[in-house]
Structure 1
Amino acid sequence: MSIYWTASEEIMLPCIQDKYLKLDLLSGDHSFGHLISGEVKVIIADQTYILKPGDTWFCPRNQLATFIKYSKDGQPYKSITISLREERLKAYYTRHEPVLTPCQGHGIRSYGTHPLLESFFGSLLPYFELEEGIPPAIVSVKLEEAITILRTLDNTIDRCLANFSLPGKIDLVDFMEKNFMFNMPLLKFAYFTGRSLTTFKTDFKKAFAVSPQRWLTQKRLELAHYQLSEKARKPADIYLEAGFENLSHFSFAFKKHFGYSPTEVVGS
């Protein structure tokens, strides 16, 4: 399952009862969230983060990230997630001068327990009991508060929040080698490498001498095989991280490619 943040809700309280759920966040908006219960594994290229109850995170726009969300200790995954959209940020920065510190790079940011965060996210919970949802005027006030709190706690955040540029053309091979496990349409891969879909396919064929779909499947299966054989992990624990949507499809593709099932790999 993937989230593209196209819904009208800017403040959400998802509660997932399943054992786990994978979300590929492919967003043109920043997300700011607070984990209430459960656990989240966040995978960004070669980095992995574990978020626990009480943790607060910020994920910048145009950042590929896989969120694998689990129930934990008998409690379902539950969090408050806020989408900080470009139009709101542009309006905010017409009234507030950004402090543009040196670039801190991409990647998720996490924040420890702080009274401002506890007070802010705690104040949102009662609104979810309203059948009609949070009134638009209050949404505007709360989003302004969220931006102000982020700027108070993180003096480098303006470089990220006040940057409204589109992704530029980047090295395709390097990007694909780092991000092949993200299960998203080719159009999104093209966008994040600064290309049209047609140019992306042409450049990809020149670089890899194979179609994107075939290359992506092979890379994901190789990653899965490594995790099974070298890390002694179980198929059910790695198929999501390798870029597959469900275990049965992963098992079918794995056996078709290697000639034996994932459970037959030595070490798994």
Structure 2
Amino acid sequence: MDFQIKYITPDIKLSTYNDKLFKTETVFEFHMLVWFISGETKIIQADKSYLFKAGDIFLIPRNHLATIINYPKDGLPHKAVVMHLTTERLKDFYSNIGIPKKDSSEKNTIRSFEKHPLLESCLASLIPYFDLTESFPENIAALKITEAISILRAIDKTIDCILGNFEEPGKIDLVDFMEKNYMFNMPLERFGYLTGRSLSTFNRDFRKVFQVTPQRWLTQKRLELAFYHLSEKSKKPSDVFMEVGFEDLSHFSYAFKKQYGFAPSLVR
């Protein structure tokens, strides 16, 4: 795997990936503003999927489960400038203008800005700094991030409901959350955090409502989803295993055959 990351500061980076694909399932601690230079990215969330290409700009909100699959494209590497909009920096920004009122009608989903010229200019201006041999001045980095936040607020009048929301996940309905997010291959600690529970409380509550261990339930649900994709959508096992939460094809095939008595390649 040929994967390189250059940092200007801990909050601004340039990532380059040359291999066939790179997949991760994660919950981002901070909002991430991304500008694609080349390549392609597929982002799979519980209720929606996104495909971003060269030139696209988008914002991934924090504390949301997602499967990220990065691909090189047209002979070019997967290359992107990424800016972290940290909670600390956003609190400092909004301390000068006031915290916006909550709007429950605004969903905390990925926001796409296509090839917006102001955002593109802001993020493209960072490229020369990645070749500096000396350290990047923190005051300039702060100005660049403030510029990006200000542009986002100018072009999206509802963005304050995302950027200005500093609440941490509270205890929520376990059944509803897990039924929507079981396909994400995350540590149980992260499932617990996102449902407002410690790991021990998560395990206890899970057993109480599902009458089975989390790992067994997750495997069962993922295999059922895989069977649906294979039988109803005529997908290939190699196209399915990552989307339903398995790490590799061989493990998926073994678990599938153990569950159904035949290999996933025979479903079609």
TM-score of the superposed pair, with normalisation by structure 1: 0.91
**What is the CA distance between 1:241 and its match in structure 2?**
0.7
Consecutive unaligned residues of structure 1, counting only runs of 5 or more, are: 1-6
Give the equivalent residue in structure 2 for 1:263.
265
Counterpart of 1:200, as a letter, is: F
How far is the alpha carbon of 1:17 from its aligned partner?
A: 0.9
In the other structure, the counterpart of 1:19 is 20
> Paired residue for 2:173?
171
Tell me the amino acid that sits aligned with residue 43 of structure 2: V
| Contact 2:100 2:164 (C-alpha < 8 Å) held by counterparts | no
Q: 2:250 aligns with which of 248, 259, 264?
A: 248
1:39 to partner: Cα distance: 1.1
Match of 1:59 in 2: 60
Written as runs of structure 1 = structure 2, the 5 A alignment for 1:108-119 is: 108-119=110-121
- C-alpha displacement at 1:200, in angstroms? 1.0
Task: Supply the AA of the counterpart residue of 2:240.
Answer: I
Larger displacement relative to structure 2 (206-215 or 254-263): 254-263
Q: Distance in 2 between matches of 1:47 and 1:66?
A: 11
Could you give the per-residue CA deviations for residues 115-174 of structure 1, whole angstroms, max 9, x where no partner exists? 211211110111111245533332212111111111111111111111111111111111
Does residue 43 in structure 1 map to residue 44 in structure 2?
yes
Match of 1:70 in 2: 71
Show the counterpart of 1:84: 85
How far is the alpha carbon of 1:96 from its aligned partner?
A: 2.2
Deviation at 1:99, TM superposition (A): 4.0
Cα distance between partner residues in 1 of 2:242 and 2:77: 19
The 5 A counterparts of 1:96-107 are 96-100=97-101, 102-103=103-104, 104-107=106-109
Deviation of 1:54 (Å):
1.2
The size of the alignment, in residue pairs, is 260
SS for the counterpart of 2:247 is coil
> Does the aligned pair in 1 maintain the 2:57–2:116 contact within 8 Å?
no
Distance 1:26 1:132 in 2: 32
Give a deviation string over 1:10-38, Cα, whole Å, max 9, x none. 11111111111112231221111111111
- The answer on whether the counterparts of 1:44 and 1:107 sit within 8 Å (CA) in structure 2 is no
Residues 231 and 132 (structure 1), Cα distance of their counterparts in 2 relative to 1, 3 Å cut = farther
| Cα displacement (A) at 1:97 | 2.6
Amino acid across the alignment from 1:40: T
Partner residue, 2:3:
none
Report what 2:155 is aligned to: 153
Query: Match for 1:181: what amino acid?
Result: M
Give structure 2 stretches of 5+ with no counterpart.
1-6
Residues 101, 194 of structure 1: alpha-carbon distance in 2 compared, 3 angstrom cutoff: closer
Distance 1:51 1:45 in 2: 17
Amino acid at match of 2:210: F
Aligned-residue offset at 1:112: 2.5
2:125 alignment partner, SS class: helix
Q: Is the 8 A contact 1:31 1:59 kept in 2?
A: yes
The amino acid of 1:185's aligned partner reads: P
Q: What is the TM-score with the length of structure 2 in the denominator?
A: 0.91
